[in-house]
């Protein structure tokens, strides 16, 4: 791409470094900003800079937070002895939106992935083990995504905490509510049969 303006070229290059945004999309976004009032660009830039410079992670659960202890960890109504292990803030938001979980979270910050060069030392695993060692935890719920990396991470953590007397569980895998059986994949359908639950329990939830 040949740009008639260095400023434009620079902006397009920076925007296209974002994941999933190519040069053409970046150009479209930047030209859009040029058509908007100057304030729009100012607010956008400031919001990104403020976030990057001032955001904290909760020192207890490592979730993104404006304070040193996040609102969830700070909430006295939640049970601190039940901890749900998740990958990042999006999973926290997804589980919170169900209003079905009353414990705390532990945000790992990713999954063990040798291909991407992410090992246990790059994640918040040690602090999780520490919590368990201190006897703060009664139940650990693994809620990582059901991929090779997720399973590896679950297993890695499980191996280090199995000597402690705590309950471990993983979120149920099965057919989505409202889904047709014929379109479900074999692995999910298979698991949902193996891990079937008593009918009485299913009508209560």
Q: Which residues bind a copy of itself (CB under 8 A)?
A: 1-8, 10-11, 13-15, 17-21, 25, 27-34, 38, 40-55, 58, 63-66, 70-72, 88-90, 92-93, 96-97
Q: How far is the CB of 25 from a copy of itself (least distance, A)?
A: 8
Residue in the block written with tokens 């007397």: 165
Residue with smaller CB distance to a copy of itself, 30 or 132: 30
Residues 6+ apart with CB under 8 A from 56: 64, 65, 66, 67, 68
Beta carbon of residue 174, minimum distance to a copy of itself (angstroms, whole number): 24
Query: What DSSP element (H or E) covers 81?
Result: strand 79-86
Cα separation, 77 vs 102, whole angstroms: 8
Cα–Cα nearest to 100, from 81, 124, 82: 82
**Shortest Å, Cβ 9 to a copy of itself:** 9
Nearer to a copy of itself, 63 or 132 (CB): 63
**Nearest approach, Cβ of 75 to a copy of itself (angstroms)?**
11
Pick the closer one to a copy of itself by CB: 46 or 81.
46
Query: Residue 45 or residue 195: which is nearer to a copy of itself going by CB?
Result: 45
Between CA 143 and CA 151, with CA 145 as vertex, the angle to 5 degrees is 90
User: Whole-number minimum distance, CB 198 to a copy of itself, in Å?
Assistant: 33
Q: Residues, the chain, total?
A: 205
Which DSSP category does 4 fall into? S
Which CB atom, from 28 or from 79, has the smaller least distance to a copy of itself?
28
Write out the two tokens for 174. 């099965």
């Amino acid at each position: 791409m040949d740009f008639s303006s260095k400023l434009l070229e620079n902006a397009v290059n920076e925007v296209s470094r974002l994941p999933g945004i190519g040069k053409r999309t970046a150009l479209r976004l930047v030209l859009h900003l040029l058509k908007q009032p100057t304030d729009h660009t100012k607010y956008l830039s400031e919001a990104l800079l403020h976030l990057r410079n001032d955001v904290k992670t909760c020192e207890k659960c490592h979730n993104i937070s404006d304070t040193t202890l996040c609102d969830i960890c700070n909430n006295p109504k939640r049970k601190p002895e039940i901890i749900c292990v998740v990958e990042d803030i999006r999973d926290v938001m997804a589980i919170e939106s169900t209003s079905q979980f009353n414990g705390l979270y532990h945000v790992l910050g990713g999954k063990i992935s040798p291909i991407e060069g992410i090992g246990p030392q790059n994640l918040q695993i040690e602090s999780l083990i520490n919590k368990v060692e201190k006897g703060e935890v009664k139940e650990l719920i693994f809620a990582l995504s059901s991929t090779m990396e997720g399973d590896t991470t679950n297993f890695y953590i499980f191996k280090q905490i199995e000597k402690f007397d705590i309950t471990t569980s993983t979120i149920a895998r099965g057919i989505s509510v409202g889904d047709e059986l014929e379109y479900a994949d074999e692995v999910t359908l298979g698991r949902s049969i193996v891990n079937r639950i008593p009918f009485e329990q299913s009508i209560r939830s």
